[in-house]
Structure 1
Amino acid sequence: MTRPVLATLANPVSPEREGEFNTWYDQAHLKEMSAIPGIAGITRYRLADGPGAESAEHRYLTLYELDGEPADVLAEIRARSRSMTRSDAFDAAGSRMALWVPVGDGTA
């Protein structure tokens, strides 16, 4: 069964702070997100070098696989977000988030 995913696009505030951004994301943020009921899995990606990379607005994509009613999971994320660990290396204002749902049964 294919599940809905919450997709987030993010960047560090500057190239010089990319290491700090990744440490926070991997060691704090992902742990806090994985503890939220209804998040079944998390996969994080970095933009590959090559065609199209120079025009991309974001360097990082994270997919949160949801197991449960998406509205309930999103409400829990919002409720917990106030107490989550923050990093000033994360460009919060420039980040984007969207919920994606499967089309059909998700098979090709």
Structure 2
Amino acid sequence: MPQAKMVVYSSPSSPDREDEYNKWYNEIHLAEVCAMPGILSAVRFSMSEAQMVPGVTVAGHRYMAIYEVDAPDFTALLADMLARSQDGRFTMSDAIDMTANPPITLMFEPLAG
């Protein structure tokens, strides 16, 4: 059973690059992240038009990826992910917004009970 869920909210760098962003994320990025020790699987979602509060977003992001995580040290896993994105081990794309509205990465652990 996975120890945690890692949730990543992200956006394309511009509306005209949305297809490129989704192609890169689906075909390259997910596979590279899921190849890391401690990442079991991932699934992506786009925000539905149907919301409890119309127009609400997560910091303007419309895309979410949920990763199943089973790692002994979440801090080390996140540090390794950041290093891979900065040192070229991850194939990054300028189709993802890393400046104006960078991704939000959150780790969630199950509650006892």
Fold shared, TM-score > 0.5 on shorter chain: yes
Instruction: Structure 2: give runs of 5+ residues left out of the alignment.
Output: none
Q: Provide Cα deviations, 1:25-49, integer angstroms capped at 9, x if missing partner.
A: 0111111101100001111111011
- Asked if the contact 2:38/2:69 (under 8 Å) is kept, the reply is yes
Identity %: 33
For the aligned residue pairs, the C-alpha RMSD in angstroms reads 1.6
Structure in which a larger fraction of residues adopt helix: 1
Instruction: State the secondary structure of the residue aligned to 1:99.
Output: strand
Q: Partners in 1 of 2:2 and 2:30 — Cα distance?
A: 22
- Asked if the contact 2:2/2:70 (under 8 Å) is kept, the reply is no
If the length of structure 2 is used for normalisation, what is the TM-score? Answer: 0.82
Instruction: Structure 1: give runs of 5+ residues left out of the alignment.
Output: none
Match of 1:102 among 103, 106, 110: 110
| Number of aligned positions between the proteins | 105
Q: Partners in 2 of 1:40 and 1:91 — Cα distance?
A: 25
2:88 counterpart of 1:80:
no
Deviation at 1:53, TM superposition (A): 5.3
2:48 counterpart of 1:48:
yes
